Chains A and B, each alone.
Chain A
Amino acid sequence: MEKQFPVGKSFFTALRDVNLDFGEGEFAGLVGPSGSGKTTLLNIIGSLDQPTKGDAEVMGKSISELNHKQAAQLRNEHIGFIFQTYNLLPVYTVFENVEFSLLLQNHTAAERKKAVMEALDWVGIADKAKLKPSTLSGGECQRIAIARAMVKKPKLVLADEPTANLDSKNSHHILQTMKKLNEELKTTFLFATHDEKVMGYLDRIVKLEDGRVVEDLVNEKLKM
């Protein structure tokens, strides 16, 4: 797969000759310096962008062939996102932030409430459901973001630098939470990161440099 972006009259190649497979239940990471193409690859897998050459197949769907509506449907039903800066909606409560994903699906209010409280319970902040994100710490906000990504029980969660704004303690807490969800719900987690703490939790590390895959290895420490 290849991805190019127009820069003036020429093109910048963000990804080239990428050929990867991720299986169900993997806890894998795209690792590399800034500009190596991690986020671009994550965006393509998340159907937010399309490859210039080649294709990406996610849950049996060809990303290149998806129109906007189909791509939105794929994200809505099967993919959860976690961001570096949490990106919670500040005017809504913790409960409402997590509930938003479900509003786009046809759930009753009772079903939504049950699912939201269950998701908040997974990440250990059910008691903060009525608070606004601005009153919570960074670690708590990231846990809300995880609950928001997980509430619809997606098959795939894409996490872009999820620990970049967190201290060491919170980072480990978050990663442990995600690892637990990965094991219990068999959700595939794919990270874009250059945080060594994250790498320590990954089962598989794909190293990118200048848009190319330079290494694809299984984390032996965890395997042992």
Chain B
Amino acid sequence: MLKFIIKGILRDKNRSVLPVMVVSIGVFLTVALSAWMRGIFGDMTDLNANFDSGHVKVMTCAYNENKSQIPNDLALLGVEEFQKQFEADYPEIEWAHRINFGGLLDVPDENGETRAQGTMVGKAVDLLSPDSKEIDRMNLRKALSAKNASRLPQKQGEVLISQDFADRFGVKIGDDVTLFGSTMYGSMMFSNYTVCGTIKFGNAVLDRGALILDIRDARMAMDMEDATGEMLGFFKEGEYEDVQAKAIQASFNAKYTQADDEYSPTMVILTDDSTIGMYLQMANSIGGIMVFVLILILSVVLWNTGLLGTIRRYSEFGVRLALGERKVHIYKSLLGEAVVIGIIGSVLGTAMGLWLAYYLQETGIDFSALMNNVTMMIPSVYKAKITPETFYIGFIPGLFAVVLGNALAGRAIFKRQTSQLFRELEV
């Protein structure tokens, strides 16, 4: 009987083409959009993790309480020793030291006099250690401007500044700039650097007056030897794992955080920031949301398609009843057809969706022109992300919607008298 059903579907274009097209389009949208949305929210999370929060972040309790002010006077001391302990306690995490600071960047003229000045937000990271992953983590190679001879710092004393800042103040590669700020002990500091490159992340938050330098330079300038504002931890596997992060946080804080010592280290995790938590939740639940919406839409469409198909096939049902087939058997065969159509449509839709998702994963869509004034840390190129879920997620709405649609439409068989269906033969 299954062979009979499949033959009928394949030969009767009215029975198969429209439903397969509807299912394919629905599945295509589910697969492509869920992968894209997952990619967008995943990228937002990664961007925040890589630039700001890490998967976990260790600071002093006092620094954490005032973190919006970037209080380097409350920085964590003895970080080399802490690093060894943390590596031993949490081997699944790799650590990166970061110092964030604010200051004034002075651009001198050929006589050494101030030509221009602007406020900047600095970020000190490990740019020079051969085993450092910070350059990749912050995507600095790609962010380097192609308009000039920009390159990454190769020795201490070299810095990167934002393209935006360089354009505003006419800074060129090789120019010297002076950073004015304060040390962690509150005294004034100034330090000279050579600009070796300009960068553009494509995000207003990151691009507005950014200065990136090696953490050794920052420590020297700010008297932060063996100290750091933040220690960011990243899972070596690469993906953030909320359950694991929470377990590590609980264990860390139980071991290291002391209520009566505001300089004791404390750990926060990525999802402690409610916005990032929402991003992560969206990334994880977007598939479910897409599936639910698509099931709803597809079911209604396929219900109507099925109704039309069922009405068109009343004469066939009449013949089958006359030949001794039971209504429930006809109904089951309709559901069987729905499963076959659902599988064919889901395979086609998934293939098309994966193709688009792959394209969006590799290329993405660049919205940077629209993001000059965006103040959230979100990527400017929206890329998809193909996960194992992408391969099967389309089958859920594809199969469920077509079966539901046919199940609803097929009820007409039971609602009509056998003799009435039979009379349709003569219509």
Within residues 147 to 184 of chain A, which ones have a CB less than 8 A from any CB in chain B?
A: 148, 160
A12 to chain B, nearest CB (A): 14
B322 in contact with A81 (CB, 8 Å): yes
Chain B residue at minimal CB-CB distance from A145: B319
Q: Is B137 an interface residue (CB 8 A)?
A: no
Task: Tell me which of A43, A49, A72, A83 contacts B324 (CB under 8 A).
Answer: A72
B341 to chain A, nearest CB (A): 15
B7 in contact with A103 (CB, 8 Å): no
Q: Is A140 an interface residue (CB 8 A)?
A: no
Within residues 318 to 333 of chain B, which ones have a CB less than 8 A from any CB in chain A?
A: 318-327, 329
Chain A residues with Cβ below 8 Å from B305 are none
A104 to chain B, nearest CB (A): 6
Chain B residue at minimal CB-CB distance from A82: B322
Taken residue by residue from 58 to 100, chain A's Cβ proximity to chain B (1 for < 8 Å, 0 otherwise) reads as 0000000000110111111101010111010101100010001
B245 to chain A, nearest CB (A): 58
B: interface residue count bin: 20 to 34
Determine the distance from Cα of A46 to Cα of B319 in the docked complex, in whole angstroms: 13
A44 to chain B, nearest CB (A): 9
Taken residue by residue from 384 to 427, chain B's Cβ proximity to chain A (1 for < 8 Å, 0 otherwise) reads as 00000000000000000000000000000000011100100110
Determine the distance from Cα of A84 to Cα of B327 in the docked complex, in whole angstroms: 23
B419 in contact with A85 (CB, 8 Å): no
B419 in contact with A43 (CB, 8 Å): yes
Determine the distance from Cα of A76 to Cα of B330 in the docked complex, in whole angstroms: 14
Within residues 89 to 141 of chain A, which ones have a CB less than 8 A from any CB in chain B?
A: 89, 91-92, 96, 100-101, 103-104
A48 in contact with B315 (CB, 8 Å): no
A48 in contact with B422 (CB, 8 Å): yes
B324 in contact with A104 (CB, 8 Å): yes
A49 in contact with B418 (CB, 8 Å): yes
Q: Is B11 an interface residue (CB 8 A)?
A: yes
A48 in contact with B322 (CB, 8 Å): yes
Q: Is B262 an interface residue (CB 8 A)?
A: no
Determine the distance from Cα of A190 to Cα of B322 in the docked complex, in whole angstroms: 15
A76 in contact with B325 (CB, 8 Å): yes
Task: Tell me which of B11, B12, B318, B327 contacts A87 (CB under 8 A).
Answer: B318
Task: Tell me which of B7, B323, B419 contacts A75 (CB under 8 A).
Answer: B323
Task: Tell me which of B8, B323, B418, B426 contacts A76 (CB under 8 A).
Answer: B323
B422 in contact with A43 (CB, 8 Å): yes
A100 in contact with B4 (CB, 8 Å): yes
Taken residue by residue from 298 to 324, chain B's Cβ proximity to chain A (1 for < 8 Å, 0 otherwise) reads as 000000000000000001101111111
Determine the distance from Cα of A110 to Cα of B288 in the docked complex, in whole angstroms: 48
Q: Is B254 an interface residue (CB 8 A)?
A: no
Determine the distance from Cα of A71 to Cα of B322 in the docked complex, in whole angstroms: 10
B323 in contact with A49 (CB, 8 Å): no
Chain A residues with Cβ below 8 Å from B11 are 91-92
Q: Is B243 an interface residue (CB 8 A)?
A: no
Determine the distance from Cα of A49 to Cα of B423 in the docked complex, in whole angstroms: 11
Q: Is B370 an interface residue (CB 8 A)?
A: no
B8 in contact with A72 (CB, 8 Å): no
Chain A residues with Cβ below 8 Å from B319 are 81, 83, 87, 89
Chain A residue at minimal CB-CB distance from B322: A81
Task: Using A43-B419, A87-B319 as known contacts, say yes or no to A68 and B327 having CB atoms under 8 A apart.
Answer: yes
Task: Tell me which of B1, B321, B425 contacts A103 (CB under 8 A).
Answer: B1
Chain A residues with Cβ below 8 Å from B321 are 48, 72, 75
A154 to chain B, nearest CB (A): 10
Within residues 272 to 291 of chain B, which ones have a CB less than 8 A from any CB in chain A?
A: none
Chain A residues with Cβ below 8 Å from B417 are 49
B324 in contact with A101 (CB, 8 Å): yes
* 22 pairs from A and B in contact (CB 8 Å cutoff): A43-B419, A48-B419, A49-B418, A49-B422, A68-B327, A69-B326, A74-B324, A75-B322, A76-B323, A81-B319, A83-B322, A84-B426, A85-B426, A89-B316, A91-B8, A91-B12, A96-B4, A100-B323, A101-B323, A103-B4, A104-B324, A160-B426
9 shortest interchain CB distances as A-B pairs = A76-B324, A49-B419, A75-B324, A91-B11, A81-B322, A72-B326, A91-B12, A87-B319, A48-B419
- Residues in chain A within 8 A of chain B (CB atoms): 43, 46, 48-49, 68-69, 71-77, 79, 81, 83-85, 87, 89, 91-92, 96, 100-101, 103-104, 148, 160
* Known A75-B322, A91-B8, A100-B4; 8 more pairs at CB < 8 Å: A43-B422, A46-B322, A49-B417, A49-B422, A71-B418, A84-B426, A89-B319, A103-B1
